A and B are shown apart, each in its own frame.
Chain A
């Protein structure tokens, strides 16, 4: 449902990575879309029925597009439903989220894609887009119905945490998807090296007595995937790079002109292996947290524009999955509510221009999956947020809107609060 009453957001600092604008401005929203973008603090005139919101110099930017979100629905609703995830998204300034297909049953056919879209329509909060499985049941053997799912509304295809080990199958998936101009997201993870590991191998893991995996396991798999992209000419989103070695490989692939994009998770930009020091299972992640050198390299790659997309990798897990010894706990953390604030933290700590950080969660993901959103332009959907980038806050368990509360940011001080979230011109969250 679109908002019919026109809204004006005035006296704002508009940040629009799509047009490279960062400055004073105002927006007029009508019928769910952006009608006008003005580079002035106030409107020359406004209609009588227009609702005017004075932003008081705060940031107004496109709502975030999070390409990697897990919900428990269908199959594990106690962890998270599409509705609870949508609420958390709205509170975190995420106006579009792509849910992962590793549900139960797996989203590997058009009817399942349709189910997710129908549920999202009924909830009517943020935009929810399903990713489809690349292989049936994530079995890594038989290609899923990429064409039919594309047509039903799946925005990309991935086997999520089960990389396709068989190179011939991956080559065919890439090649086939290419015929439909479909995007494949594939996580680089060498399965045998990674087997049984819960941390990155090194001094920290050794001291803690945790089974480790070399950071190389990511690069080995990535190099193979990139070679297959070279072979097939396909479009590939490298799903989460977390190591310095992978960054080099991505840089080389891009320099060669391959149609390759890279994402990383906010957790790997903010935390490092030291954070697992207390065996706190909220930091038990997959890929595991890396060394400080890897983290620094990721932040630099982000600033340089080598990393195209930042994701929350929202993975809700209830207490029974997390309240266990470190190596027995399920890996993953929620992140929809903290993605933006953590990114803004990189701006405050490292002086990375906000516009460059926002690019990775707005226009870049929008272009990758073909959304009109993610920009402040006339005609674009009025999916926007108003943010006070200086406001500090500490995330308490009681603030978490997800059904699962496994946030590594819990009780950490963050800076950058979402004050207002609009989707199709409707206010879906107000602080």
Chain B
């Protein structure tokens, strides 16, 4: 990977156009929609967007005239803002919609929503829904491109892409790195997407957590499974913490947050067994003192958590721009 030095706007635009490629599919539903060359191409494109986002004038007109609808059935300020900024910086007209999940809980009503949307003729539809498979269902019913911004416990592929961008920028490569994904894997769409992308790019992936929070068949995902945190992060280059779904605490998955922190919370002591160059990640929002100690989360020499937020906008710009490029070729 080559770092891009600040250059004049015209050069930057040329770099973007030279790296821009039509997305391989009409929708971006899941991490497995991408082959390694696509992943690399998206990361290279995102690198240029990072530079663009650090300039005063961040706007392009790549998506000029395009309509992007952010359809968030489930609340998520971070992800929605990230997609909204990404669209706006590319020149799209963005609209945010927050339909109440309860009124569209059934498949039929989700399809009704699709019919309504179709009538509005958007070009890009960014969907977040609490049900696994909801984005895919919408993709079958609408004429535009759908980006899955998180569906139930299934996938969150743009998060995995931004995580990989953060890792690649920190280490210069992804292959051969040992990445430990720790915590509530069972309920995590982030983990599922990351496992696929990281495996595809040649990283050694480990899943770490109590047996109640690791899916039973996870050992068949091409990862190593650990139930002991220290063993799981020993020698790891990246320790990716997951948010513990506190709202699920009454479901008897773990005894208490204090016990969870004692055995699976990331603090300096546990982190000492990781590789000397270790970087810590978290998709946010964090439960401080539950899955991660503030001392670790806020240490900028090891934490990539702020970088992840910044990379989120760039990675999503890369996805939206590539999907729009495909729309051009489809035309």
Contacts and interface: CB of A to CB of B under 8 A. Distances in A.
Interface of A: 135-136, 141-148, 168-169, 172-173, 175-176, 178-179, 231-232
A173 B252 contact: yes
A148 B259 contact: yes
B270 interface: no
B19 interface: no
Interface in B306-329: none
Nearest to A181: B227
Nearest to B227: A179
Nearest to B209: A179
Given A141-B252, A176-B254, A232 B211 contact: yes
A143 B211 contact: no
Interface of B: 210-212, 216, 227-228, 250-256, 258-259, 262-263
B120 to A, nearest CB: 43
A148 B255 CA distance: 10
A143 B252 contact: yes
27 contacts: A135-B252, A141-B250, A142-B255, A143-B252, A143-B253, A143-B255, A144-B255, A145-B258, A145-B259, A146-B255, A146-B259, A147-B255, A147-B262, A147-B263, A148-B255, A148-B258, A148-B259, A148-B262, A172-B252, A172-B253, A175-B210, A175-B211, A176-B212, A178-B227, A179-B210, A179-B212, A232-B211
A232 B211 CA distance: 9
A145 B254 CA distance: 8
A178 B216 CA distance: 13
B252 A169 contact: yes
Nearest to A231: B216
Contacts of B253: 143, 172, 176
Contacts of A168: 252
Contacts of A173: 252
Scoring B252, B253, B256, B262 by chain A CB atoms within 10 A of each residue's CB, the highest score goes to B252
Q: Is chain A's binding surface mostly helix, strand, loop or mixed?
A: helix
Contact of A179 (B211, B256, B262): B211
Contacts of A143: 252-255
Contacts of B256: 145
Nearest to A232: B211
Scoring B212, B227, B256 by chain A CB atoms within 10 A of each residue's CB, the highest score goes to B212
A176 B259 CA distance: 12
Contacts of B216: 231
A232 B228 CA distance: 17
Nearest to A176: B212
Given A147-B259, A172-B212, A173-B252, 17 more contacts: A135-B252, A142-B250, A142-B252, A143-B255, A144-B255, A146-B255, A147-B255, A147-B262, A148-B255, A148-B259, A168-B252, A169-B252, A172-B251, A176-B254, A178-B227, A179-B210, A179-B228
Nearest to A171: B212
A109 to B, nearest CB: 9
B21 to A, nearest CB: 44
Contacts of A175: 210-212
A148 B263 CA distance: 9
A178 B214 CA distance: 12
Contact of B255 (A145, A178, A231, A232): A145
Nearest to B256: A145
A176 B250 contact: no
Contacts of A136: 255
